[in-house]
Amino acid sequence: MKRIFEIDPWKLTSHTFNKEDKRLQESMTSIGNEYMGLRGNFEEGYSGDSLKGTYYAGVWFPDKTRVGWWKNGYPDYFGKTLNAPSFIDLGITINGTKLDLAVNKISDFELTLDMHQGLLTRSFIYEGGDVRVKFEFTRFLSVVIRQAALIKVKATVLSGSAKIAVASGLNGRVYNEDSNYEEGFWDALGEDAGARSIQLRTKANNFGTPQFTVLLKESMRENNEKVEGTVKTAAGQLSESFTYDLGEGESFELEKDVIVVTSRDVADAEQAAEAQKLMDQLQAKSFDQNLADHEAVWAKRWESCDVAIDGDPDAQQGIRFNILQLFMTYYGQDPRLNIGPKGFTGEKYGGATYWDTEAFIIPMYLAVAPKEVTHALLEYRHEQLPGAFHNARQQGLKGALFPMVTFNGIECHNEWEITFEEIHRNADIPFAIYQYTRYTGDDSYVKDEGMDVLVSTARFWADRVHFSKRKGKYMIHGVTGPNEYENNVNNNWFTNTMARWLLSYTLERWPLADEAAKKRLQVSDDELAKWQDIVDRMYLPEDKELGIFVQNDTYLDKDLRPVSSIPADQLPLNQHWSWDKILRSPFIKQADVLQGIYFLNDRYTKEQKEKNFDFYEPMTVHESSLSASIHAILAAELGKQEKAMDLYKRTARLDLDNYNNDTSDGLHITSMSGSWLAIVQGFAGMRYNEDGVSFAPFLPKGWTRYSFKINYRGRILAVEVADKVKISLLSGADLTVKVWDQEVALKEGQTKCLKD
């Protein structure tokens, strides 16, 4: 655990600069606008240890898969998150000395990420003997003109006089740190000194996936007036120089406006013109006006999603940071995009999406963002159905298998036990359709495109099960459950339960599907009968004596013992134990049986929940960032308030406190919904079904108050939990909600106050 930013409700601020925390600082001050994003690298460059990273959404590279021993069905390529051409560079010299915080003496350092504005600022005083210069940097990625980055540097000579040279750069000579042989993945297409632009293309590949072309353009302003410096170019690079001779007290403020367009939206030949058009649009307003527009969008978002916590400033900062980072990664703008595990904050993990999106993020997005945001995420999977059919075919199976890791729908990860065993995703991903439909009450998706997804995955499952003659049951062998600390297990209760759910839900929705969908999908009576038979005779391992569902066939034969029996210096297991020892141990990485109980919460009795929680939680090491929140929610439901709080704490400031000691690689974007879920579904006990929404709130020990807002079927509801519980219908039609066992009828503008 390491905390480098000060506690503040709306800001990440630091007044110290520690070189050894540079990567951590960079991860935490990453900013993005869904279209692109970058780590908190310094504009002037930095010669010390640093991870330079700029990422354009949906721009990736298919890197050759390398494995020790090839097996039929392995994907040909691994989708690599691509470090993209950098546009923030503002190289600076002061009287010939390079500005470089790894080397220079500085004072009065301040670095702030304003979470309300999505704005990054930095200032410090350069101490060059007699010469002291104050530098102030400001930057943001516009959420209004998504192709635009706005960067500003102000320099003020505090003492002495200084000749300050600024070289504004666009730089396509970038590399992935995780590449196998320091390969570059970009080819320069050309530089246009006059237009201040460079164009590049990703290297050719043999996998039939598209090459991407990008064009970066800059234009400089001083006091809102365009200025032009001296331009130099090299392959894939452009640099524009400005020089200032300043006496004491004098200053300059140079603004760098950047436009980035890519072949995802604009054909190669039209990119220059499109960039010019966008630059004109951007420069029709001043920096401050553009910032105000940007901030207004953020303000509107915060209005309907903010969570306020009194009595726990750490928690307050944590939840806002998580919401900010999620929204900077994805807000439904482009249904071709999704939420990668590191978002725009690092290059680790390939692919743009995992099952994390549907399982852990959609439940939050449904409540905090307009329903179109979630709808776009559903569309993403529908668009990728051709890839999913390909994946199933590769395994010799019918129907569609959604990938574990992908950019384009085709599985691109090569770890067998994950890619082709962790197939529970093929029910979890469609489960989002069920969640969307139940929460929004909008069944237009499930009747049409959603039915394509349901039937195609149902066909996969019907082929993937086999019938055990000996047991007279359908079984699913050779899977990895959510607990990735076991693999190739048989009859994982969660996987079997979710596969059965998928078939059952598809059977339930099929008669209600649009005629066009029915015609398109041609489900035969035999198919329906087969699905029903699987639903009726699916094997779901259970131990009646213990009163629990059994994680998988031979789990109970293990040397069962609690995590408390492991010496503290052997935790986390994944850093101390061999993989062999981990796999054979009873210890659980993240919710597995309990994930199923979380998903299908209304199907299990309190006793069932309790017995399973009490059995499995003590053996769970929570070494996935996705684990603690689910457990916190169930603990809260079972009245284990202290346990719920303990678990919540593991998710609330995972990155801010560098809990897993790996935030320097980038943020855990897809885990960021965890603290929201723990508060809203956990502490406040929010549940929903077709008929409505309910709460069962409590106030965690130490907190004096917390409140949050949710979108619900066109309304904004506010919930405040203190010594009393207040529910307000801020906008929208009349609504009755349930709080504990009370029906609370609300009219627009009305607040009701309740006590347990």
Using CB under 8 A as the criterion, which residues of the chain lie in contact with a copy of itself when the complex forms? 65-69, 71-74, 78, 180-181, 394-397, 413-418, 420-421, 466-471, 475, 477-478, 487-490, 553-554, 556-560, 574-584
Closest to a copy of itself by CB, 487 vs 673, is 487
171's tokens: 């730089």
The residue to which tokens 């929680």 are assigned: 613
The Cα–Cα gap between 229 and 251 comes to: 18
Closest to a copy of itself by CB, 191 vs 421, is 421
CA atoms within 13 A on the CB side of 120: 26
Exposed e or buried b per residue across 68-78, where buried means at least 16 C-beta atoms within 10 angstroms of its C-beta: eeeeeebbbbb
The Cα–Cα gap between 100 and 83 comes to: 22
Q: Which residues pair with 497 in a beta bridge?
A: none
Which residue positions form the known binding site for substrate?
A: 355-356, 589-590
The Cα–Cα gap between 322 and 307 comes to: 11
Chain-centroid distance of CA 341 in Å reads: 5
- Closest approach of a copy of itself to the CB of residue 283, in Å: 46
The residue to which tokens 């503290």 are assigned: 568
Look at residue 308 and give its three-state secondary structure: strand
How crowded is residue 564: how many other Cβ atoms within 10 Å of its Cβ?
8
Closest to a copy of itself by CB, 370 vs 572, is 572
Closest to a copy of itself by CB, 8 vs 553, is 553
Please state whether 454 falls in left (phi above 0), alpha (psi between -120 and 50) or beta.
alpha
367's tokens: 């409540």
- Closest approach of a copy of itself to the CB of residue 595, in Å: 21
Measured CA to CA in angstroms, residue 617 lies from 567, 570, 624, 652 at distances of: 18, 19, 14, 19
- Catalytic annotation on 484? yes
- Closest approach of a copy of itself to the CB of residue 112, in Å: 37
The Cα–Cα gap between 267 and 282 comes to: 21
- Closest approach of a copy of itself to the CB of residue 580, in Å: 5
- Closest approach of a copy of itself to the CB of residue 389, in Å: 15
Closest to a copy of itself by CB, 487 vs 664, is 487
SS3 for 332-367, per residue? CCCCCCCCCCCCCCCCCCCCCECCHHHHHHHHHHHH
Closest to a copy of itself by CB, 465 vs 632, is 465
Catalytic position from the list 240, 358, 484, 720 = 484
**Cβ contact 384:406 at 8 Å:** yes
Look at residue 406 and give its three-state secondary structure: strand
The Cα–Cα gap between 168 and 91 comes to: 6
Exposed e or buried b per residue across 115-130, where buried means at least 16 C-beta atoms within 10 angstroms of its C-beta: bbbbbbbbbbbbbbee
- Closest approach of a copy of itself to the CB of residue 473, in Å: 9
- Closest approach of a copy of itself to the CB of residue 48, in Å: 25
- Closest approach of a copy of itself to the CB of residue 496, in Å: 13
Closest to a copy of itself by CB, 418 vs 716, is 418
The residue to which tokens 């007044």 are assigned: 15
**φ and ψ of 372, to 5 deg:** -60, -30
Cβ-based neighbours of 489, under 8 Å, separated by 6 or more: 478, 479, 480, 481, 551, 552, 553, 554, 555
The Cα–Cα gap between 557 and 393 comes to: 35
Q: Which of 589, 587, 597, 451 lies closest to 522, judged by CA?
A: 451
Closest to a copy of itself by CB, 467 vs 604, is 467
- Closest approach of a copy of itself to the CB of residue 347, in Å: 15
SS3 for 33-50, per residue? CCCEEECCCCCCCCCCCC
Q: Which of 18, 155, 151 lies closest to 94, judged by CA?
A: 155
Closest to a copy of itself by CB, 392 vs 727, is 392
Catalytically active residues, by annotation: 484
